[in-house]
Amino acid sequence: MPELLLAGKKALVTGAGGGLGRAIADGLAQCGATVYGTSRNAATRSKIQQRYGTPAFALDLSDDSGVECFVDNLLETAESIDLLVNNAGINIPKPALDLTGEDWDDVFTANLKGPFLLTTALARRWINKGIAAAVVNIASQAGIVAIEERAAYGTSKAGLIHLTKVLALEWAPKGIRVNAVAPTFVRTELTASTLSRPEWAAELLSRIPIGRFGEPEEIADAVAFLLSDAAKMITGHTLAIDGGYTIR
């Protein structure tokens, strides 16, 4: 039963305040997990806390020592975390010639360095305590195929896909599974500016054989599956949820 899929598990979802992160957190809660979320915005953290009945946390993914302190505080509050979803991220959609070095650094910090720091900080504690755990990284189809105006974003997501493989390889003997999902364009706040451009949205839609954009709940379903024991033989895999976009 879906409501029993993650019963008794405790999950951390970064960027759980809206869009895809909220849908993922909702899905995990519906599957029986206790959900903890993060947001950089105080008002959003309050909403997360009300929604899931657990404390919500601020998290600066750019600060090595700050991430370690965050994990200590999280585990002091939650006592244990079994599941991690690295969802928080940013996109700065510009032609490559318009990207600045600061743009590049901001995207890579949020989309690749941050997940690396957080996942390894938790994994050290899981391994020390012999805890079996599961991680899902939210990558993108832009990390698999080239998409215009996604030089920094796509490259960061390609890095996240490869990081998923390396961590899965290193930690499989420790009972830690690491997978990723690579969504197509999903209707969220993050994609609103892109999909509001009629000609560009029509062009993107023409590349999706199924003929529509994704919905947040469809990504949440896949994340819940990969975190569950139903996927206990799957690690190091990136599941494209793209309506066929990356077939070509």
CA 56 to chain CA mean position, Å: 17
Rg (CA), the chain: 17
Catalytic residue among 36, 52, 153, 245: 153
> Could you give the CA distance from residue 156 to residue 167 in angstroms, rounded to a whole number?
16
State phi, psi for 173 to the nearest 5 degrees. Answer: -65, -15
- Residue 52: active-site member: no
Among all residues, which ones are annotated catalytic? 153
